[in-house]
Chain A
Amino acid sequence: MTARLGGLLALAASALFVAAPAQGEEGAPRKGGTLTMARDSEPLTLNPIGAGDNGSIFMIVQVFDTLVETADAPLPQSALATGWTVSDDAKTWTFALREGVKFSNGDPLTCDDVKFSIDRFADPKVNTSYGGFGAAIAQTECAGPSSFVVKLKAPQGAFLDYLSTFIPSIVPKALYEKMGDKAFSEKPVGSGPFMVKEWVRGQRLVLERNPYYWKNGQPYLDQIVVNYVPDENTRMLKVESDEAQIATEVPYAQIERVAALDHVDVQIENVMAWDAVWFNSRKAPFNDPQVIRALNYATPKEAMLKTLMHGAGDIANHVIARVKYWDPAVEAYPYDLAKAKEALAKSSAPQGFALSCLIVAGDQFELQQAQILQSEWAKIGVTMEIQAVDTGTIWTRWGSGDENCFTFTGAGLSSDALSDDNLAVVFFDFTGGIESFWTGWNNKDAIALVKEADGTIDEEKRKAAFHKLQRLAMAEYPAVPLFFIKARTAVSDKVKGFKTLPVKWWNLEDVWLAP
């Protein structure tokens, strides 16, 4: 869903989400031109394996292709693989590779390259950041020049979703082995729509058209200059002054102002990011679902959404992001102090309690949010101390299991895959590695549901399992879900075909510039 904001200023916040066709309304795409973007983050590496930050990921996907790609659809779409078949036991996947695809240096893309890349993806020693994504792969082979076979240890429900992420991007084997990890990370070669022309760390990444790109006539743009502009005010001024045509992460407070500019719109789109407050259920009273419920009822999400986020978000009815199997029918906790007090009275801490909550230092949004919670929760006798610590410390402290409460930058938590599995393992599976996101929530039913969904490729079964999991989490999980975050991007009128995907990145090969 895309909302264009120009001229809609006078309307209420809900009107921001009036759907409008995102592309095609301006006639046929035009080729040529340079697009300048102002981004909030910069790449640290351009190597698909080893990247873990949005700054890197969103650029990597412009340079590389994957077997299946994520688009504005619930299911991965064919890309380097034109099609695939899966065996009845759901353990053998055979991909038909697209023929005639070349890397941006002109070398042909072969099944060897595919096997090399997928094997790296499957090796937890190599793929440290996202080891879980490829862990199900037992073996790969090239059954022919254009037939690639993957054998799994066990059926994996999210297999295709994981293949559509940036991690199993197809890299040229020979070149990669020649250049080595480090050099390839600096000057990578892929088969994606763009190739790296220049990378000045701390300043900009310049991408130019890959002349060998397989999608017919695409990409439209000759060149993309991606400037790193960390300051949000400056980023907005960049589009305002037309030094850039796209600026990411419009600050909430400026949505109305930027949208009111003549030549700029603010696109507000759903992505798989969310915000919540987490509690440590190993510690009393957070082991008591009544306490969590009380806090949920005592949180004025509606008002927070309006004042802090200027309406650009949705109240969360799930403790993780709104991903593929999200059930809209589950009810979010309403703001109801009476119910909150009632729940607290029934709980193990009827008189209220004190807690201290970790937040990221220097993040004004989180600070404001925490202060609202502080002042609201005080109304039911919960006194909260806010501890702002830097990002370097916050994971270690939260991971130690000694803290009460934790909240992380809203934009910082998002799903990299199109289905719920990854988030479900991290947040609900106590045995999954980090003890349910270090909340210590050890719920047998939840673990069983995660495993059940993961072990099948039957869409209906998966859906049913995740729906159950959502209801269970909303009732029992030690967290106060707050909002589903939306992407807010300032886009110049000249830019056509731009769209933020649910995974938060963009298929820039679809973008063109109007004269």
Chain B
Amino acid sequence: MSLIAFAGRRLAQAIPVLLIITVAAFSVIHLVPGDPARVMLGSRATDEAVQVLREQLGLDKPLVTQYLDFLKAAMRLDFGDSLFQRTAIGPIVAARAVHSLALVAYAVLISLVIAVPLALLSAIRRNLLADHVVRALTTLAFCMPSFWTALLLVLLFSIRLKFFPTSGLGDSPLAYLASLTLPAVSIGLYLTPILLRSLRASLIQTLGAEFVEAARARGFGEARILFKHVLRNSLIAMLTILGINVGFLISGAVIVENVFSIPGLGSLMVAAIVQRDYPVIVALTLVFGVVVVAANFLVDLSYALLDPRIRQ
């Protein structure tokens, strides 16, 4: 099967999932008591004023109508206006999605750079001191509260050493990268142990495979065996874990986004939920769904590239 057909089939499967996600998000969030008009007006306004605002916002229409309106517009990539920000959702989400994706991509990169060599070390020195040290340290990093790690990083690298800005986003590409570094490290420190564990486990498994012994019998060097033959076979398990985590990383970055004042999708989601900004919530759910589907699709695609057996 060609990769394109493979991609096509995956996408076709994804569409009903995405639709159901938006329906679910839409109906579920309406189950939760709360009224955006009341949240917006807070303590000041009378119930009549709230009612006027509800009509203005179209919140008095039946839910089904509201959802279908949303869906019709969404087909044209128009997600409507945010109830709170009083402006089109598309550009807001797009701008934030860029930062979120950049942040998570950067974090994944950092994790890979840390996790792959350490996993190799851990796997070939299995059950020796180096292995134990690596695993203990990464478990430590995993369990530390993220705002705590983040603040520690800021205190050290921004306040003390002045390497990076404390928060916010830089304008030039280089400054942008610099400003994303500490947040990416904070997320990366959480992700690294997850990747490291799965990679280590599958490395150990692959190292015991017969083709590794066959390669040794053929007199190949250990480095060649490890990097060419073993690593490629082992990456698949790690990619699966990565795929599952990507969606979670983007929405779960909210604490790190907060600490570093990065306008990402995570903080928008939390704000939208608290404010009952229904159109934003549904649009974001759709975006997260797309990101998760896309991430898993990429994972499948890299499977297919890494492992010819999957293509069948």
Contact = CB atoms under 8 A, between A and B. Distances in A.
Contacts of B41: 52, 128-129
B197 interface: no
Identify which of A47, A200, A395 gathers the most chain B CB atoms within 10 Å of its CB: A395
Interface of A: 44-45, 47, 50, 52, 124-125, 128-132, 181-182, 185-186, 200-204, 227-231, 233-234, 237-238, 240-241, 243, 390-393, 395-397, 399, 408, 412-413, 416, 422, 426, 432-434, 437
Contacts, number: 149
Interchain residue pairs A-B with the least CB separation, the first 7: A202-B263, A433-B46, A392-B34, A392-B276, A229-B261, A395-B38, A393-B34
Given A227-B168, A392-B39, A47 B86 contact: yes
Given A129-B45, A202-B268, A228 B261 contact: yes
A510 to B, nearest CB: 26
B88 to A, nearest CB: 8
B263 A237 contact: no
Interface string B262-298: 0100011000011110000000000000000000000
Nearest to A133: B44
Contacts of B86: 44-45, 47, 50, 181-182, 185
A44 B39 contact: no
B43 to A, nearest CB: 6
A227 B52 contact: no
Interface residues of B, number: 51
Contact of B167 (A200, A238, A392, A416): A238
B263 A396 contact: no
B166 A241 contact: yes
Given A202-B267, A237-B167, A390-B273, 15 more contacts: A45-B85, A128-B41, A128-B53, A131-B45, A132-B46, A202-B96, A204-B168, A228-B261, A229-B167, A231-B167, A234-B166, A237-B155, A237-B159, A390-B34, A396-B35
26 contacts: A125-B52, A129-B40, A129-B41, A131-B49, A181-B86, A182-B86, A201-B87, A202-B95, A227-B168, A229-B261, A231-B258, A233-B259, A234-B261, A238-B166, A238-B167, A241-B158, A243-B166, A390-B34, A391-B39, A392-B32, A392-B39, A392-B276, A396-B33, A412-B42, A433-B47, A433-B49
A392 B273 contact: yes
Contact of B275 (A228, A391, A434): A391
Interface in B226-261: 258-261
A434 B41 CA distance: 12
B154 interface: yes
B306 interface: no
B127 to A, nearest CB: 41
Identify which of A231, A408, A412, A426 gathers the most chain B CB atoms within 10 Å of its CB: A231
Contact of A234 (B34, B35, B259, B263): B259
B56 interface: yes
B169 interface: yes
A437 B165 CA distance: 44
B47 to A, nearest CB: 6
A440 B258 CA distance: 38
B35 A395 contact: yes
B292 to A, nearest CB: 23
A243 B41 CA distance: 34
